[in-house]
Structure 1
Amino acid sequence: MSEIKDNEKFLPTPAVHRPGPQHPLSLIISAIAFYWVASLSVVFLNKTILSGSEYKFPYPLFVTLFQLVVALVLLVISGHLGKRSRTFSMVPPFEFDLDIVRKIAPLSVVYVLMLTLNNLCLQLVEVTFYQVARSLSIFFNILFTWTMLRQRTSGTAMLACAIVVLGFFVGSYGETNFSWAGLSAGVGSSIFVALYGIYVKKTLSVVDNNQWRLLHYNTAISIILLTPIVLMSGELGEIKKEVYFLDEAGFWVLMTITGVAGFLINTAMFLQIKYTTALTNTISGTAKSCVQTLLAMVFYQNPITAMNGFGIFLSLFGSGLYSWVRYMEMQRK
């Protein structure tokens, strides 16, 4: 639910904590490995559900709603366990204050659109092209930061963004299994990823800067917003008519695992940020995107042209450069 830069972004990003004492190397490696497993699992499990398995289920609205329900159940359970167990103590008990709901609702609208378009993009494009299709989130982040927050971006960061945009066009032109619908969903997802990051910053004060409280509210409100959309979309009628494996336990197990993976990515991000440095976190995210693309080439045997490969490289390189530049700028500040 959301590492804002990646697309398995199912949930708001946990707070960034400055590392205290030097942590054991084994703990750092474990945190990074957990993040990689959770993050890669989200992308590949969603792809498997939406378009790549014996349980092919091309209904992104219903999939998004189901994953949100799983996430909310796990949040409520974790909040309850947090009263008794130190392991879950960082998760507060579930709450639902209507005054707070009204203030968080705009964020949830953006969140629902981001998740839905993200899953639709993943359904319609190859995983190798997924990173390219959603790479414009950096461009829109710079655009909205300037238009909405009146904050300027440095020339070096703008150069990195230009490389990403060039990679987007080169990769799109060279994509063999090109889809206008998938590309449009990717661009739309990028827009709402950028907006989501801004709205999270503006909304956190409503819940005393507690990201886990925001998780509770945002997930619950998103379910309320998305439920009527699913009902009116006609997906339920198509599912009843077209899907023959609704009574198979394997399908629901796979769907539940996908929802759990979406929830775990949030915890994994929290642990990676807590037990590593900001630089390590940045490098880990960029390296994970590269591995994600390579794994997609191996597992799905997606044909990649030289131009498509060059576009993917430019997008990943530009994204990594942008993250590095922003990190260095924050260090100077």
Structure 2
Amino acid sequence: MRQQEDRALLPTTTAAGGPDAAAASGPSGRLRTAGLVAAWYASNIGVLLLNKYLLSVYGFRYPVFLTACHMSASALLSSAFAAATSSSSPRRPLSRGQAARVAVLGAVFCGSVVAGNVSLRYLPVSFNQAVGATTPFFTALIAYAVAGRREARATYAALLPVVAGVVIATGGEPSFHLFGFIMCVGATAGRALKTVLQGILLSSEEEKLNSMDLLWYMAPVAVVLLVPATLMMEPDALGTAAALAREDPSFVWLLLGNSSLAYLVNLTNFLVTKHTSPLTLQVLGNAKGAVAVVVSILIFKNPVTVMGMLGYGVTIAGVVLYGEAKKRSK
């Protein structure tokens, strides 16, 4: 469950910066927006650090089971959110075509989240975030391969430092693990693929869904996929979780808190998107990754090098340039 982008588990499909963004210009509106941003940062960084702690430090090495817990909590909390807001915006049942598309998105989403959680077993959060920052590169690549969508030359040129930064960071990463790196790249590519497919499959006005509606439909699909995957790939996960719950009651609260935060990542991302502009969201997202890196280093004390931090800085600079180039090309 980024985890993470854009680091939210489900990037929004609605436009930001509407009437709600305008309403945020007053003192009370700015205070509300600041609170939402703080909650967005806290939930994103919190779920990332808790994933790392459970999978690596605590020793609960079951990333598929952990993702199933995340999606189960998202399914339950999405239903509660839907019930609380249904009076003002009732949801229409999905058509057969929509249901098939949501199922495809759910499968891609599950794969990317599981891969991301697996990578946290082997890589420090700081390096995980550096690799995850290359999402724009994979998004542009996949958009061209799948949809034939071309960007301006300046936009593609801005992607060079994005990749170069990760190459530099990889060479300077003292805790580099090849399998963890492959999983992290796979998770990043999976998030990009989901974003592209989401834009293609749910682009018509009749079928457009906002991120919370999409999560409400996708979470049960993800649970259906993840439960048998857990039984096949991690058959002793449930027994181990039960034993840990008996031996250490705090484990239950860690698991519940972690799973609830996974849902709050999506909810706060949706609300921040609703109350800010696209440019503000992009800037906040870039800063969020940097904050996560600093906090993770302070907590886990993983070794870092000047080359590693330089590489991450180059990647972030490339992401900023990419955003500016896309804005100019429109």
Is this a same-fold pair by TM over 0.5? yes
State the 1:229 CA deviation: 1.1
Aligned-residue sequence identity (percent) comes to 24
Q: Distance in 1 between matches of 2:94 and 2:259?
A: 22
Equivalences for residues 7-46 of structure 1 within 5 A: 7=7, 9-20=8-19, 21-23=22-24, 24=26, 25-46=30-51
Q: Distance in 2 between matches of 1:242 and 1:257?
A: 15
CA pair 77-95 structure 1, distance change in 2 beyond 3 A: farther
SS in 2 for 1:18: coil
Paired amino acid for 1:202: I
Select 1:134's aligned residue among 132, 135, 149: 132
**Structure 2 residues without counterparts, runs of 5 or longer:** none
Q: Residue deviations 1:226-273, cap 9 Å, x none?
A: 21111111x132553698413243212211111111111112112212
Q: Are 1:60 and 2:89 counterparts?
A: no
**Structure 1 residues without counterparts, runs of 5 or longer:** none
Select 2:153's aligned residue among 152, 155, 164: 155
Select 1:81's aligned residue among 76, 79, 84: 84
Aligned to 1:184: 182
Contact 2:16 2:276 (C-alpha < 8 Å) held by counterparts = no
Aligned to 2:323: 323
Q: Distance in 1 between matches of 2:122 and 2:242?
A: 19
Aligned to 1:277: 277
SS in 2 for 1:169: helix
Paired amino acid for 2:101: K
Contact 2:132 2:188 (C-alpha < 8 Å) held by counterparts = yes
Contact 2:134 2:315 (C-alpha < 8 Å) held by counterparts = no
Q: Residue deviations 1:146-177, cap 9 Å, x none?
A: 12111112222222211011111111111101
CA pair 287-221 structure 1, distance change in 2 beyond 3 A: same
CA RMSD of aligned residues (A): 2.4
Q: Distance in 2 between matches of 1:252 and 1:99?
A: 39
Which stretch has the larger CA shift, 240-249 or 166-175?
Answer: 240-249
CA pair 61-311 structure 1, distance change in 2 beyond 3 A: same
SS in 1 for 2:326: helix
Q: Distance in 1 between matches of 2:242 and 2:106?
A: 30
Equivalences for residues 222-301 of structure 1 within 5 A: 222-233=222-233, 235-237=234-236, 240=239, 244-247=243-246, 248-301=248-301
Contact 1:11 1:263 (C-alpha < 8 Å) held by counterparts = no
Aligned length: 321
Q: Larger relative contact order (C-alpha < 8 A, sep ≥ 6)?
A: 2
Paired amino acid for 2:324: W
Q: Distance in 2 between matches of 1:241 and 1:308?
A: 36
Q: Distance in 1 between matches of 2:311 and 2:298?
A: 18
Q: Distance in 2 between matches of 1:267 and 1:242?
A: 27
Q: Distance in 2 between matches of 1:35 and 1:45?
A: 15
Paired amino acid for 2:49: F
Which stretch has the larger CA shift, 57-66 or 143-152?
Answer: 143-152
Normalising to structure 1: TM-score of the pair? 0.88
Q: Distance in 1 between matches of 2:240 and 2:72?
A: 23
